[in-house]
Chain A
Amino acid sequence: MTEAASSDVSRPPPIRRIARRQGLLLSRRASRWRHVTGLCGHGILLLITSSSALAVLFIFFFIAKDALPFFITREAGLLERLREFFTTSAWYPSSVAPSFGALAIFVGSGLVTLGAALVAVPLGVMAAVCLSDVLPFGARQLVKPVIEILAAIPSVAYGFFALVVFAPLLQSRGGLVLSVGWWCLAGPVAALLVFVLSDIATSRLTRQRGSRWIRPAAAAVLGGSALAVLMYVGGRLAGIEVGSGTNALNVSIILGIMALPTVTSVSEDALQAVGRELREGAYALGATRSEVLLRVVIPAAASGICAAIILGLMRAVGETMVVWMASGNAAQIPSPWYNLLQPVRTLTATIAGDMGEADHVTGSARYHVLFAMALALLSISFICNLISERVISRATLKLR
Chain B
Amino acid sequence: MEYRRHRMRVSLAGAVLLTCLAAASAQESRIVVDGSTTVGPIAKAFAEHYMADHRDVRITVSESGSGNGAKSLINKTCDVASMSRFMKDGEFKAAVDAGSFPVAHIVALDGIAVIVHPSNPVRNLTVEQVRDIYLGRIVNWKEIGGPDRPIVIISRDTNSGTYESFEELVMHKQKMAKEVEYVGSNGAVRQRVQSTPTAIGYVGLGFSDRTVKALSINGVQPSRATVAAGAYPVARPLYFFTNGYPQLGSPLHAFVTLHLTPKGEEIVQSIGFIPVTMYSADSDQSDD
Contact = CB atoms under 8 A, between A and B. Distances in A.
A136 to B, nearest CB: 44
B235 interface: no
Interface in B194-214: 195-199
Interface in B159-211: 159, 163, 173, 175, 178-184, 188, 191-192, 195-199
A324 B184 CA distance: 8
Given A163-B188, A324-B184, A94 B178 contact: no
A361 interface: yes
B30 to A, nearest CB: 19
Interface stretch (A177-185, A229-237, A239-247, A311-319): A239-247
A164 B191 contact: yes
A360 B182 contact: no
Interface in B137-163: 149-150, 152, 157-159, 163
Given A360-B62, A360-B63, A244 B181 contact: yes
A168 B159 contact: no
A343 B37 contact: no
Nearest to B182: A329
Given A243-B152, A357-B158, A330 B173 contact: no
B119 interface: no
B195 A332 contact: no
In this complex, the member of B152, B159, B178, B191 whose beta carbon has the largest number of chain A beta carbons within 10 angstroms is B178
B64 interface: yes
A98 B103 CA distance: 33
Nearest to A352: B184
A246 B154 CA distance: 11
Contact of B182 (A89, A244, A330, A342): A330
A97 to B, nearest CB: 9
Contacts of B63: 357, 360
B181 A329 contact: yes
Contact of B196 (A89, A171, A325): A171
Given A325-B184, A330-B182, A245 B196 contact: yes
In this complex, the member of A91, A96, A246 whose beta carbon has the largest number of chain B beta carbons within 10 angstroms is A246
Interface in B118-139: none
B156 to A, nearest CB: 11
A95 B159 contact: no
B158 A330 contact: no
B178 A104 contact: yes
Interface string A351-365: 001101110110000
B64 A361 contact: yes
B178 A95 contact: no
Interface residues of B, number: 29
A155 B278 CA distance: 42
A168 B195 contact: yes
A353 B179 contact: no
A258 interface: no
B183 A329 contact: yes
A321 B114 CA distance: 27
B37 A357 contact: yes
Nearest to B180: A330
A244 B151 CA distance: 9
A374 interface: no
Contacts of B191: 163-164
B201 to A, nearest CB: 12
A167 B195 contact: yes
Contacts of A354: 157-159
B200 to A, nearest CB: 12
Contact of A92 (B152, B157, B175): B175
A171 B198 CA distance: 10
A356 B182 contact: no
Nearest to B62: A360
Contacts of A95: 173, 175
A253 interface: no
A353 B181 contact: no
A306 B62 CA distance: 48
Contacts of B163: 94
A356 to B, nearest CB: 5
Interface in A85-111: 89-96, 104
Given A95-B173, A168-B195, A353 B184 contact: yes
A330 B179 contact: yes
A328 interface: yes
A162 interface: no
Interface in A277-330: 324-325, 328-330
Contacts of A324: 184
B159 A331 contact: no
A21 B196 CA distance: 89
A357 B183 CA distance: 15
Given A342-B179, A358-B159, 18 more contacts: A89-B178, A93-B158, A94-B158, A94-B163, A95-B173, A163-B191, A164-B191, A243-B150, A246-B192, A328-B181, A329-B157, A330-B180, A332-B178, A353-B157, A353-B159, A353-B182, A353-B184, A361-B65
Q: Which 4 A-B pairs have the closest CB atoms?
A: A357-B159, A332-B178, A329-B182, A328-B181
28 contacts: A93-B158, A104-B178, A163-B192, A164-B195, A171-B197, A243-B198, A244-B181, A244-B196, A245-B196, A246-B192, A324-B184, A325-B184, A329-B181, A329-B183, A331-B178, A332-B179, A345-B182, A353-B157, A353-B182, A353-B184, A354-B157, A357-B158, A357-B159, A358-B159, A360-B37, A360-B64, A360-B65, A361-B65
